[in-house]
Structure 1
Amino acid sequence: MRPEFELAHAVNLFSATLLARNQLSPLQQKVLGKIAGCRTATFGGHEEVCNNCGTVRYSYNSCGDRHCPKCQAAKQAFWIDDLMQNTLPIKHYHIVFTVPHQLNAVCLHNQRLYYDLLFSAVWNTLRSFGYTHYGVESGAVAVLHTWGQNLSLHPHIHCIVPAAGYTLDGQWKNMAHSGKYLYPVHQLSVAFKGRFLDSLKRALRKQNKLDMFDHQIQKAYKTKWVVHCQPSLAGADYVVKYLGQYTHRVAITNQRILNIADGKVTFIAKDYRDGAVNKPVTLDGVEFLRRFLMHVLPTRFVKIRRYGIYN
């Protein structure tokens, strides 16, 4: 059933205001144009004919943009099917690496650099823990998300990590452990924090921009970082379907939008401070669209990456 309210409606109503304020990059303008025109005459259409009864149906084409909530379900299904063929039949763990909000200004300044460094810090942390705790080169499938439930900027990476790998001499080894989690959570958090902030400082210093963001970085050093680890997710089928929930999500789905009226947008968001209860959130329409646009990724940026034995 088609939702009564869609992201495209908000785009049509509020994008002109952002454009008039010169607050849209060329890429953001392109994305908004695609979302507004998705499954309309803008992108043309096609004819479908039933081989049995001859019934003819006309359908508009999709825009295919990865930020469009109408265009991700099919891509997600194909991705799950492909990964299912290449996932090892062993235990896996779900680990989420999150960056604190103190660094949001740095992120918005150069998203490509920031997210590339984030992926590198995540994998280098996991890789080093594989060697130091089990003596193996393990692997990971990592998926970037950039949003919180209220569309705030909240960069984090979901990882599925296999509980096995290859030793330095090429022998396959299961990562046997007695605890609930694959790695000590506190140690993982400290190591990730150090790797990411150190690499971020080096990159900004190389660009002569460290002074612009040194205050934010120092605040991030003083902040407690938390890596969220979950117990084993069991076999490959379950793991792939579980990760599939995260792969092709967009910042907001049409099903979450409750109302668009009087210049405002109301949508459903989980309140994790209150047991993940669904609650309505109402934003000014222009602010709603501005928040959504923070999550438009750089052109051709790879947001799903495979490492180690899954590379």
Structure 2
Amino acid sequence: MSISTRHEIADIARQFGTGYIEKYRPSVKKIKVLFDILQCRTLALGGHEERCDCCNEVRYSYNSCGNRHCPKCLSTKQAIWIEKLIGQTLPVKHYHIIFTVPHVLNPVCLFDKGMYYKLLFSAVWRTLHSFGYTHYGVESGAVCVLHTWGQNLSLHPHIHCIAPAVGYSLKGGWKHIGTYDDYLYPVHQLSGTFKGKFLDSLERTLRKMGMGSEFDSLLQQAWNKKWVIFCESPLAKPEHVIRYLGQYTHRVAISNNRILSMGKTHVTFTGKDYRGRAQKKPVTLTGVEFLHRFCQHILPKRFVKIRRFGIYNHTSKRNLGLQFKPEVPIGEKENSAKKETSQEQIKRLTGFDIGQCPKCKKGRMHLVRELPRIRSPPRPLRQLIHTFLQ
């Protein structure tokens, strides 16, 4: 089955949004995300009219919503983030480590996502940090990214980490870490330590919230399960693993190009079946269930999903007086002094020249006039989006 880009998440929200709201009564934040996606790059948000200085072609461009859960608003941010991180990492091999949590704990996650994800980050770093000291006697580091979904949009919280194959020795100076460049730490020990740290902190937090008895059985099931952490052999250059990690940074649960079809009641999209050699297979859900699963991955307000720890944390670097990169040569300083325009940066990073005429490919597009956004009369958000979906 070939992939069609004719349907977007905005189309699904428009057709099934009312049913989703009536069935699940979602929070205002979730409704706001759907509302932003519906308005993204439409006249509702305003835009601008441009004209080519060569062939007089006219183009209308509409503003993006800027919501971090919108699939249309993240590609440029992703490219910029990757370039920035490559420039801030040590020029050494990096390990890719994935910390996963059993699905039996999903009800706890849904009870309080902010608490759950915060404890998850904490347990991941406390595990890596302790192993750095006990195995190599160094202050280690990591860049960690929260990823909450599986290929079928199910709730599957896990954290991707990249960790450098060096640490800062307690005696001062850099020290290589990793055994024969094959693995960073013993995976079985890493898994057991992470399991203990996460479940212990989760139990204590739930007791403080007065919810310990509510989730006792689930926590006991989690203790009885075998936890698995994946640690891949390091790649030769850090930019390789960073570009791979970049796939998970500025992404939402599903992109528009994975949507195959949308009918009167159901939506079909592609997903990898990891039980069948990661082959792509169609997944069909009702439209309401699709939106329900999509909205499960909306992060709490102001939650930081990308975090740096240890020698990659800005505060630690400053306290230890670490200098990752050699002094930039004078010639390069002069070149870097010439600031890029946003158009030049986007072209360099993505290869797409937004200022080029899409018709003649020779002229440049110039602003003719601004298009004002359409102001809707103020009313409650639920009523507003319900009206918008009619």
TM-score of the superposition, structure 1-length normalised? Answer: 0.96
Residue 169 (structure 1) shift: 2.7
Aligned to 1:161: 163
Partner amino acid for 1:185? V
CA distance in structure 1 between the aligned counterparts of 2:195 and 2:298, rounded to whole angstroms: 25
Specify which of 286, 297, 300 is matched with residue 302 of structure 2. Answer: 300
What secondary structure sits across from 2:72 in the alignment? coil
Q: Which of 253, 256, 281 is residue 279 of structure 1 equivalent to?
A: 281
SS in 2 for 1:267: strand
Partner of 2:361: none
> Contact between 2:4 and 2:260, CA under 8 Å: does it hold in 1?
no
Partner of 2:74: 72
- The 5 Å alignment of 1:2-21 reads 3-21=5-23
1:226-267 per-residue CA deviation (whole Å, 9 max, x = no partner) reads 101100122122222121122112101111100000210000
Cα displacement string for residues 108-140 of structure 1 (whole angstroms, at most 9, x for unaligned residues) = 000000000000000110111111111111100
Give the drift of 1:214: 1.1
- Structure-2 residue corresponding to 1:34: 36
- 2 CA distance for matches of 1:84 and 1:2? 34
Deviation, structure 1 residue 18: 2.1
Supply the AA of the counterpart residue of 1:237: E
User: What's 1:58 paired with?
Assistant: 60
Amino acid at match of 1:164: V
Q: Which of 124, 135, 141 is equivalent to 1:139?
A: 141
SS at match of 1:258: strand
Q: Distance in 1 between matches of 2:216 and 2:53?
A: 65
Give the counterpart letter for 1:61 in structure 2. Answer: N
Q: 2:193 aligned to 187, 191, 194, which one?
A: 191
What is the identity, as a one-letter code, of the residue corresponding to 2:77? K
* 1:55 positional shift: 4.0
Residue 43 of structure 1: aligned partner: 45
Q: Deviations over 1:180-233 (max 9, x none)?
A: 211111111101000000000111111111111111111100111110110012
8 Å CA contact 2:181, 2:234 repeated in 1? no
Q: Distance in 2 between matches of 1:87 and 1:242?
A: 15
Which residue number in structure 2 is paired with residue 148 of structure 1? 150
> Which of 127, 130, 136 is residue 129 of structure 2 equivalent to?
127
Q: Specify the SS of the correspondent of 1:247.
A: coil
| 1:182 paired to 2:192 | no
1:114 equivalent among 112, 116, 133? 116
Which is greater in Rg? 2
Partner of 2:209: 207
Deviates more, 1:49-58 or 1:126-135: 49-58
Unaligned runs of at least 5 residues, structure 2: 314-390
Counterpart for residue 247 of structure 1: 249
Partner of 1:216: 218
Counterpart amino acid of residue 6 in structure 1: E
* Distance (whole Å) between structure 2 residues aligned to residue 46 and residue 20 of structure 1: 36
- Other-structure match for 2:25: 23
Aligned-partner Cα distance in 2 for 1:84–1:40: 34
Aligned partners of 2:201, 2:55: CA distance in 1, in Å? 62
Find the counterpart in structure 2 of residue 310 from structure 1: 312
- Aligned sequence identity (%): 61
Letter in 2 for 1:44: G
Rounded Cα–Cα distance in structure 1 between residues aligned with 2:220 and 2:278: 31
TM-score by length of 2: 0.77
